[in-house]
Amino acid sequence: MMRAVDVAHYFLCQLDADAGDLISNLKLQKLLYYAQGFHLAVCDEPLFAEPIEAWTHGPVVSAAYHEFKEYSSSAIPCPVGFDFNTFDAETSELLDEVYSVYGQFSAWKLREMTHEESPWRETSSGQPISHEKLKQYFQTQLVSENA
């Protein structure tokens, strides 16, 4: 199993800075949430081991938050020497799909979206969002996307 920071690096290397794409820590946290949720729904196992917690501004992976907090609300650069080949084809496809669908939204739009979703709403502030809640919710999203 990979680390949430590895998945974060994958997303950070997707953006096109020349096109004005930016990923702040807030946006990155929401992308990690969607990646974990869809991975649980599709593969029936977590993508990364670290818990996602319900924070004031939505779901957060604490370890990844602290890794990038020095950037505050500024854009986080792509890590040097990142190797996409460390991800298998199935994982890359899922992450590419998550980025394609959710990467287009601003950090604050993603924040608002997660605030409407049951995994965050039904978890007390500061507590981990259970894999079961994530899996159940995102399975319903797969059904509605395929309808």
pLDDT (tens digit, 9 = 90+) per residue, 87-98?
999 999 999 999
Number of domains in the chain: 1
pTM higher than 0.75, yes or no?
Answer: yes
Say whether pLDDT at 39 is over 80.
yes
Parent domain of 83: 4-146
Share of the chain above pLDDT 70, in %: 93
Q: What does the pLDDT look like over 96-145, one tens digit per residue?
A: 999 999 999 999 999 999 999 999 999 999 999 999 999 999 999 987 66
Say whether pLDDT at 65 is over 60.
yes
Q: Is 3 in contact with 61 (CB distance < 8 Å)? A: no
Q: Which residues contact 63 (CB under 8 A, 6 or more apart)?
A: 3, 4, 5, 50
State how far the Cα of 39 lies from the Cα of 23, in Å rounded to an integer. Answer: 21
Reported confidence tier of residue 12, pLDDT bands at 50, 70, 90: very high
If one compares 85 and 46, the residue with the highest pLDDT of the two is 46
Read off the DSSP letter of residue 68: H
